[in-house]
Amino acid sequence: MISIRFQFHFNFSQSKKTLIELSKNIADYLESLYDRDFVENYRKYIESYPNQYIRIDPFSDHQSLIERLKNYGIELEKTVLPFAYKVLKGSDKIGKTLEFTLGLYYVQSLSSMIPPHILNPTYNDLTLDLCAAPGSKTTQLAELMERKGTLIANEVNQQRVGSLNFNVDKMNLSCIGVMKQKGELISKTFDNFFDKILVDAPCSALGIVQKKNEVSNWWNLEQAEKIAEVQFKLLVSAIKAAKVGAEIIYSTCTLTIEENEFVLDKILKKYPVEIEEFDLPLKHVPGFTKFGEFENPKLALAKRIIPWDNDSEGFFVAKLRKKSETEPLVQSNYSKSHKIFFIHDHKFIKPYLNQLHEYFGIEKDILARFKYIQSRSDLLFVNKDWVVEENSYFIKLGLKLGVIDRKDKLNLHSDAARTFGKFATKNKIVIDSKEDLEIYLNGSTIKKELDALGQKIVEYEGMILGSAVQTKEGLKSQFPRNLRTNEILLQ
Residues annotated catalytic, as ranges: 253
DSSP 8-class letter at 235: H
Q: Is the peptide bond before 134 cis (omega within 30 degrees of 0)?
A: yes
- What DSSP line would sit under 90-154, residue for residue? -TTTTTTBHHHHTTSSEE--TGGGHHHHHH---TTS-EEESS-TT-HHHHHHHHHTTT-S-EEEE
- Amino acid identity of residue 142, one-letter, is A
406: Cβ contacts below 8 Å, ≥ 6 apart = none
Q: What are phi and psi for residue 152, nearest 5 degrees?
A: -105, 125
Check: CB of residue 144 under 8 Å from CB of residue 206. Answer: no
Cross-strand partners of 179:
154
Strand order from edge to edge, sheet including 445-446 = 428-430, 454-460, 463-471, 474-477, 445-446
Check: CB of residue 277 under 8 Å from CB of residue 301. Answer: yes
Looking at the chain, how many residues does it have? 491
Q: What are phi and psi for residue 198, nearest 5 degrees?
A: -105, 125
Query: 307: helix, coil or strand?
Result: helix
| Residue 428, H or E segment | strand 428-430
* Dihedral angle computed from the Cα positions of residues 276, 314, 250 and 293, in that order, rounded to the nearest 10 degrees: 70
CA gap 402, 415 in Å, rounded: 9
* Per-residue H/E/C for 91-103: CCCCCCEHHHHCC
285: Cβ contacts below 8 Å, ≥ 6 apart = 303, 304, 306
Check: CB of residue 99 under 8 Å from CB of residue 463. Answer: yes
- Amino acid identity of residue 477, one-letter, is S
